[in-house]
Amino acid sequence: MPETRLFKQHDVRETLSLDGEWEFYFPSEGTTIAATDYLQGDKTLLEMPGVWETNDKYINYRGQAVAKRVLTLARSGAVRLVFKGVSHTATVFLDGKQVGFHHNAYTPFAIDLPWLEEGEHELLLHISNEHGEISALHVPNDYYNYGGISRPTELQFLNTQAYVRWVHFTPVFSAGRWSAKLQALVVNLGAESKELRLDLALAGETSSVQFEAKPGETNLDAEIGFQADEVEAWSCESPKLYFLNAALLDGEEIIDDWIDRVGFRSVRVEGESILLNEQSVFLNGFNRHEDHPNYGCALPLEQMIEDLDIIQDLGCNSVRTSHYPNDERFLDLCDERGILVWEENHARGLYKNSGTAPPGIHPMEHPKFREQCRLVNEEMVNEHFNRPSIVIWGILNECDSVSDYGRSCYKEQFEQIRSLDASRPTTFASCLNDDNCQDLQDIASWNRYFGWYGMDDPAIQFDKFLANCGEKFAGMPFILSEFGAGALPGYRDPVRRGKWSEDFQVDLLDKSMEVYLNHPRVAGAFIWQFCDVRVDVKWAMGRPRTMNNKGVVDEYRRPKLAYETVKRQFGELARSREKLLST
C-alpha cells in the first residue's frame, strides 16, 4: 500500500518513501542546536513517522533535535522532498545548505530542487517543538505538542523540471446534471518557457488544455460535463469515489502525472439547515485528537482504522478534526466510509488573559500569528480541497471573538478561506457570550458544557443560552461543537453525584444528548471527545492524569460506561431521521 495516501498518486512520477529509521541528535544539556555541532549531541535511532516522546528518555522533552537521513540517488535530475507533517517547526538542510523552512505540525510542505546529482546526499531536519517566540500557534494547551517527523515523508523524482502541483475539483449540480470545474497548478522549475498540454480524465470524460508553461507557476482552468446518469453522487450512505487523472505532455510524451480521488456532492446552508445533496443533514459525531500513548500524534494507519471503526459503531456520521488539519490517510478513510468532516485550522484558546502568552501580550498579537495562520489556512485548503468528506472549514477555536482586533483576525481568515474555496460553508467554535463575530461565518458553532462547568440542568441552561445569545446567529444553522463530561477510567460512584466518575459522565451525556439531538434549533452535535488525550504539563492541575479525560473511550480506546449510552442516543437519532426523510 502506498505510504502517504491510500491509493497511488503517480504512475509516471517515481517516488521513494523516506519512512523508517532516522538518526536523531539531541543537544547536550545547556546548549542548543544553533550553538553546537549536531554530532556532539546524543544519538538515538527512531522509527519515522513517529515522535521522540515515545522514547522513554525523551518522554517529556521540549526542545530541539536534528534528524538525519542519507539519500542515495541512482540518477540526476529535479526532485521534490515531500513532508506530510513535521512537529512542529523544521529547518531543512541538504548537504549542509538550507533548502527549506516550515512551521506547523499539522500541514504538509514540499521543497522543490531543480537539480540534484546522483549519488549520496545528507538530509538534515532541525526540528523544534518549543513554545514561545518560535510559534504563535503551538502553545501550552489542552492537548500535547509532540516533536518529530509525525507523518509520512517521500522523495519524488521529476522526469523534467515541469510538473503538476495539484488539480482542484469543484462539483456542480444544475438542471439535473453534474459538471466538474477544474483548476490546475503547473510548476516549471526551469529558466525557460515550455509549450505543454495538460490532459484531464474523470469518470470516462476528458478535457485538454494547451498552454505556455512560463518559469514559476501557471494556473489553468477546465470544465468537464456529465449526463445525469453518468456519475453517482457521493453520500454518507453511498460514498462513491472517482479517480481524477492529470497527465502533463510535452508533444506526445507524458512527462508527469497526478492522481486524486473525488466525489460528486453538494453542500450548502439554507436558513437554519445544512444541506448535503439538497437534503437536510444532521451532523452527529465526535471531536477527535490525533493522540495515543504508544504513538503520540503519529498514529499509524491501523490505529486510524480502529478509531473510525469505533466511531461508526457508535452511530456517528461526522468527525471534527479538533483543533488542526488531520493526516491525509485519515481523510482518505473518511472519504471511503462516508464520514462527514469539519476540518479546522490550527489555533485554540488564543484570547486575552488566556495564559498562552507572556503577561500583557495578547496571544493573537504574537508577531508570527497572522502569517502562521495564513500559511496553515492555505496549506489546509489547497492540500485537502478535493475531499468529498470535508463539508465545513473551521478556524480559530475559542479565540478572541470579542475585541475589535480579534474580529479583524476572524474576518481576515474567513475572507482568505473563501478566496481559496467558496464551495464549502465556514464556521468557528465560540465560547464567549459577548462574541462579536457571529455575522462573519455561515454556520454558528458553540462549545457549551452545561452540567459540567456548573451543576445546572442542560435543558434549562440551553434555553437560557438561546434566549441570551440566539439573536447573534439568527437565521443560520447552529451546531453544539463541544459538550461533555470528564470521567476517570474505572472510577465509579454509586450515588452518581461525583464528578470525574464514569457514572456522572453517563448521566450528563444522556441528559445533554436528549436535549441537543431533538432540539429544532440544532443542526449538529459533536461530543467532547472521542478518546482521552495527553495535555501539556501546565494544564495538569486541572486535568487528572495530565490528560483531558472527557473521552467516551480511554487513551487505549477501551470503552467507558458512556459508550453504550452514546450508541443508543445516536442510534435513536438515526432512526428518527430515517423516519422523517421517508415521510
- Kindly report, residue by residue over 254-287, the tens digit of the pLDDT: 999 999 999 999 999 999 999 999 999 999 999 9
pLDDT digits (tens, 9 = 90+) for 171-226: 999 988 999 999 999 999 999 999 999 999 999 999 999 999 999 999 999 999 98
pLDDT at 579 over 70: no
- Sign, CA torsion 414/415/420/426: positive
Which three three-digit cell numbers place residue 548? 483531558
pLDDT at 341 over 70: yes
pLDDT digits (tens, 9 = 90+) for 134-159: 999 999 999 999 999 999 999 999 99
Delineate the domains of the chain, giving CATH numbers in brackets: 14-157 (2.60.120.260), 162-262 (2.60.40.10), 275-582 (3.20.20.80)
Q: CA–CA separation, 392 vs 369, rounded Å?
A: 23
Q: Distance from CA of residue 113 to its chain's centroid?
A: 27
Q: CA–CA separation, 320 vs 340, rounded Å?
A: 9
Residue 430: predicted pLDDT: 96
pLDDT at 458 over 80: yes
> Residue 538 has what DSSP assignment?
G
pLDDT at 575 over 90: no
> Residue 137 has what DSSP assignment?
S
At 449, is the secondary structure helix, strand, or coil?
coil
Residue 296: predicted pLDDT: 98
304 phi and psi, to 5 degrees? -60, -40
pLDDT at 496 over 90: no
State percent of the chain over pLDDT 90: 88
Q: Does 395 or 37 have the greater pLDDT score?
A: 395
Instruction: State the average pLDDT over residues 392-402.
Output: 96
pLDDT at 357 over 60: no
Instruction: State the average pLDDT over residues 364-368.
Output: 91
pLDDT at 469 over 80: yes
Which three three-digit cell numbers place residue 37? 555541532
Please answer whether residues 382 and 430 qualify as being in contact, where contact means their C-beta atoms are separated by less than 8 angstroms. Answer: no
Residue 67's nearest CA partner among 37, 95, 44 is 44
Burial, 387: exposed, middle or buried (Cβ in 10 Å; 0-12, 13-18, 19+)?
Answer: buried
In sequence order, which residues have a C-beta less than 8 Å from that of residue 61 and are 6 or more positions away?
Answer: 26, 52, 53, 147
Residue 500: which pLDDT band, with cuts at 50, 70 and 90? Answer: very high
pLDDT at 122 over 60: yes
- Sign, CA torsion 29/31/33/36: negative
pLDDT at 164 over 60: yes
pLDDT at 70 over 50: yes
Residue 327: predicted pLDDT: 98
Residue 583: predicted pLDDT: 59
What is the 3-state secondary structure of 17-83? ECCEEEEEEECCCCCCHHHCCHHHCEEEEEEECCCHHHCHHHCCCCCEEEEEEEEEECCCEEEEEEE
Q: Distance from CA of residue 386 to its chain's centroid?
A: 14
Q: Does 174 or 84 have the greater pLDDT score?
A: 84
Which three three-digit cell numbers place residue 398? 475559542
pLDDT digits (tens, 9 = 90+) for 508-553: 999 999 999 999 999 999 999 999 999 999 999 889 999 999 999 9
Q: CA–CA separation, 538 vs 213, rounded Å?
A: 52
Q: CA–CA separation, 196 vs 139, rounded Å?
A: 46
Round the CA-based radius of gyration of the chain to a whole number and report it: 24
Strand partners, 479: 445, 524
Please answer whether residues 152 and 330 qualify as being in contact, where contact means their C-beta atoms are separated by less than 8 angstroms. Answer: no
391 phi and psi, to 5 degrees? -115, -10
Average pLDDT value over all residues in the chain: 94
Q: CA–CA separation, 124 vs 92, rounded Å?
A: 6
Q: Distance from CA of residue 513 to its chain's centroid?
A: 26
Other Cβ atoms less than 10 A from the Cβ of 576: the count is 13
Which three three-digit cell numbers place residue 307? 478509531
State percent of the chain over pLDDT 70: 96
Which three three-digit cell numbers place residue 555? 487513551
Residue 1: which pLDDT band, with cuts at 50, 70 and 90? Answer: very low
Residue 32: predicted pLDDT: 72
Range from 25-34, 82-91, 434-443 carrying the lowest mean pLDDT:
25-34
pLDDT at 2 over 60: no
Q: CA–CA separation, 52 vs 65, rounded Å?
A: 9
